[in-house]
Amino acid sequence: MDKRNFRGGGLKSGVHKGQISNEGMRHSEARQRAGKLREESNRSFRVPQDDGVFKNIVSLENLFVASREFSKGKRKKRDVQQFEFNLEDELLGLHEELVAGRYKVRPYSSFYLSDPKLRHIHKATVRDRVLFQAVFRVLYPIFNPSFIFDSYASRASKGTHAGVDRLEQFLIKASKNNWEKVWALKCDVSKFFDSIDHDILLKLIEQKISDTGTLKLIRVIISSFEKLPGKGLPLGNVTSQLFANLYLHELDFYMKQRLRTKYYLRYCDDFIIVGSDARYLFGLIPQVQSFLSEKLKLKLHPYKVSIRSYYQGIDFLGYVIRPYHRILRTKTKHRMLRLVTETNQPSYFGILSHCAGHKIREQIVSNRL
């Protein structure tokens, strides 16, 4: 990394000059340590020489960029401010632990979040979340190209709106421009993140990653959390999103290559298949359940498997799609009207721009007058 990035206060975004007075000597020592660490890293890494991926993850350059990416939108939070106040020492210390093989994930804090359903979130320390971001930055380009096109969660240029647009395209194509009756089988994996099997996940990762340093680090991250013995990933980790996509890519491959489903897409643990024969879709359910159980140790949610016709409306990712129009899900509409404020109104209007939401928009405006 360019030494300019290690000037006193150079990495302390959002910190006042008065807070960093009398620390010039400590910063000078940190710069010397950084130079020595770079030299040692280039000369003799403490991991096998085939660990190119690991070197990329633990490099000071990658850790710095990861910390900058992680802190976006979070700099007002106290724990982030504290980490950035000592950023040089934090990153150098983290780098040393990683190179020496001493890194361990610190204990998680937990809380509940209504989004809109109640979710139990486990939050790692800022130090660990920066490392998770560094891991994500290097592993995402390795894993992502193998994923199917129609996987829409936690991927660049994808997301909920792209997923809904794609589903609408499927429905129009399958119905021959709304002339024929079509159906959609919608499924949800029960307690997905809590049920991810660590051993299965690691075997899937080993198919993509061979170097020992990276595999050791990934094992440390995965084993840092358990909902049940040997199972579970924390919802709050960026690495969990990537590993979840890798885990369910096995389902994607099965659906596309084995069952040959033409109109299939998935968003995290929600997936949907469009077809012209309701009986055929109904017959897919036991096949999917059997695959999930035998290969991934997962199961479908018993109350979240449904088959509906296009004319009834297909409820997916907050919207209901019908021939010729798309509307907002009723629960989403009621929550929006209840929670809208002057601050979040532009965000809600953005959601409404993807559907026939002009009446809701007018109602919001009239309520605020």
Give the pLDDT confidence score for residue 369 in this predicted structure: 56
Rounded Cα gap, residues 240 and 227, in angstroms:
14
* pLDDT computed for residue 105 by the predictor: 96
pLDDT given at position 50 = 54
What percentage of residues in the chain have a pLDDT greater than 70?
85
pTM: 0.81
pLDDT band at 339 (very low <50, low <70, confident <90, very high): confident
Q: pLDDT tens digits for 175-225?
A: 999 999 999 999 999 999 999 999 999 999 999 999 999 999 999 999 999
